[in-house]
Amino acid sequence: MTDLAITQESFIDRLWSKVPLVTLAFWLIKIMATTVGETGADLLSSRLGLGLSITSWIMSAVFAVFLVLQVRAKAYTPALYWMTVVLISVVGTLISDNLVDGLGISLKTTTVAFSLILALVFAAWYNSEETLSIHSIVTRRRELFYWAAVLFTFALGTSAGDLVAEGLDLGYLNAALLFGALIGITAMAYFVFNQDAVMCFWIAYILTRPFGASIGDYFAKPNIAGGLGLGTVTTSIIFMTLIAGLVVYLTATKADSEVVSENA
């Protein structure tokens, strides 16, 4: 099905893109959301003593509510969209943690499994819509494919980040530097060598998850574990405050809102 073949959606459902423009603010909030996803999941399950199972059920329910609100919205709203991203980051982290810490599945196995699942989501999305561009998220079906892909990028990023930082014993700072370098290479491929924009976007999107998670762990973990020792509470508050500030700015300026024409 091509972009021009959307005949079952009303015009108002197609008028506005449901995701923000990819700006510097987009990447900054995305990275900080992944950081909060990592530290927030640890805070709820460990620091508050809720445990993985209870935390997973609670956060999955909260995420489901916000996802329904996001999908039902007629246009992109910064606060709603980014709260959904923060929550999906927490849920993606918890999915990986449940498999690894709860069921004892190795990080290598979960990394491979999530990679395959994400590949299947992309294949199904492309087979249905003939595009993976986030600039085409203007129908409910495309948005559901989008959020499914986002969920598994977070789950994959959690497992891959932990595998590099802990499984390969590189440490959190070195892991962050490694993933940061890979993001830089991806940016160079797009800006310098004119590689496909959609492919580069999703590669960078996947890599920002372990990058942000490694930063979160580096800030929160104690010195003996290779971190700065700020703790999950302080780290979560710092990054949530920064996210909130940027969201307020975007809400006021509409700097990342995109109008999509009828022929999008």
| Other beta carbons within 10 Å of 113 | 17
Q: Both tokens of residue 90?
A: 């927490």
Res. 10: pLDDT tops 50? no
Confidence at residue 259, expressed as pLDDT on a 0 to 100 scale: 55
pLDDT digits (tens, 9 = 90+) for 44-103: 888 778 888 899 999 999 999 999 999 999 889 999 999 999 999 999 999 999 999 889
Domain boundaries, the chain: 11-253
pLDDT band at 177 (very low <50, low <70, confident <90, very high): very high
Q: Please count the residues of the chain.
A: 264
Look up the pTM and report it.
0.88
Any residues with CB less than 8 A from the CB of 15 and at least 6 apart, and which? 74, 75, 138, 259, 260, 262
Q: Pick 74 or 113 by higher pLDDT.
A: 113
Share of the chain above pLDDT 70, in %: 91
pLDDT band at 1 (very low <50, low <70, confident <90, very high): very low
Res. 6: pLDDT tops 80? no
What is the C-alpha to C-alpha distance for residues 167 and 163, in angstroms, rounded to an integer? Answer: 4
